[in-house]
């Protein structure tokens, strides 16, 4: 039960997301219609502060972070799929949980869908193109080209 303290972090994170309206379907629509700077401001200022913090942590505390590996087909197709889900439900992963807490009960169906989507990915994982398969293919192509 050493992980129980993370409930506290979750409450704080949820509080910030709700109060700045990052969980609002309307705000997400506003963002995708380019009608307000609000959500761009939230994302860009959040990224900027985190970026400066990461640089300082790295320089003065020696804390390094791991970047997610580049997997082009996965990043692109997965990203677009996630984006469509984000646009429809007006909530990404954390806001979906916040909405359930706010007793917007249809959000539970979206979460159920997300879990089904995760199952679909787990089953299909080996058949889906990820970066390394993509690279293998190009390697094969170049090697046949050379042997020819």
Partner 1 sequence: MNQLYDIIFVKPWPWWVGGPLIGIFVILLLIIERKQLGISSSYQYICAKVSPWKLDYFKEPEKNAWQFFFILGVIAGGAILSFLTPAYEIGISEETIVTLDQIGIHEQKGFAPAEIYNFSTSSLLVIGLGGVLLGFGARYANGCTAGHAIMGCAQLAPSSIITTIGFFVGGLLATYLIIPLIL
Which 43-82 residues touch partner 1, going by CB under 8 A? 43-54, 57, 61, 63, 65-72, 74-82
Contact between 10 and partner 1 (CB under 8 A)? yes
Q: Which residues, at least 6 apart from 101, have a Cβ–Cβ distance to it below 8 Å? A: 14
Contact between 139 and partner 1 (CB under 8 A)? no
Contact between 92 and partner 1 (CB under 8 A)? yes
Residue 146 C-beta: closest distance to partner 1, Å: 28
How many binding residues for partner 1 (CB under 8 A)? Answer: 113
With b for 16 or more beta-carbon neighbours within 10 A and e for fewer, the 59-88 pattern comes to: eeeeeeeeeeeebeebeeeeeeeeeebbee
Nearest alpha-carbon partner for 14 in 5, 27, 6, 23 = 23
Contact between 84 and partner 1 (CB under 8 A)? yes
Residue 147 C-beta: closest distance to partner 1, Å: 32
Say if CB 74 and CB 129 are below 8 A apart. yes
Which residue lies nearer to partner 1 by CB, 109 or 142?
109
Contact between 132 and partner 1 (CB under 8 A)? no
Enumerate residues 23-42 that contact partner 1 by CB under 8 A: 23-33, 35-42
| Residue whose token pair is 């219609």 | 33
Give the integer Cα–Cα distance in Å for 60 and 122: 40
Give the integer Cα–Cα distance in Å for 48 and 31: 19
Which residue lies nearer to partner 1 by CB, 16 or 143?
16
């Amino acid at each position: 039960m050493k992980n129980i303290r993370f409930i506290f972090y979750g409450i704080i994170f949820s509080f910030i997301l709700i109060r700045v309206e990052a969980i609002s379907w309307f705000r997400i629509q506003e963002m995708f219609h380019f009608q307000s700077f609000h959500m761009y401001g939230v994302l860009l200022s959040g990224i900027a502060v985190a970026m400066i913090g990461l640089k300082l942590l790295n320089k003065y505390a020696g804390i390094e972070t791991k970047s997610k590996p580049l997997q082009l087909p996965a990043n692109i197709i997965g990203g677009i799929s996630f984006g469509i889900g984000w646009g429809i439900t007006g909530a990404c992963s954390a806001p979906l949980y916040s909405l359930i807490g706010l007793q917007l009960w249809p959000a539970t169906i979206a979460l159920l869908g997300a879990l089904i989507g995760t199952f679909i990915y787990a089953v299909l994982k080996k058949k889906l193109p990820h970066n390394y398969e993509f690279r293998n293919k190009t390697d094969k192509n170049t090697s046949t080209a050379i042997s020819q």
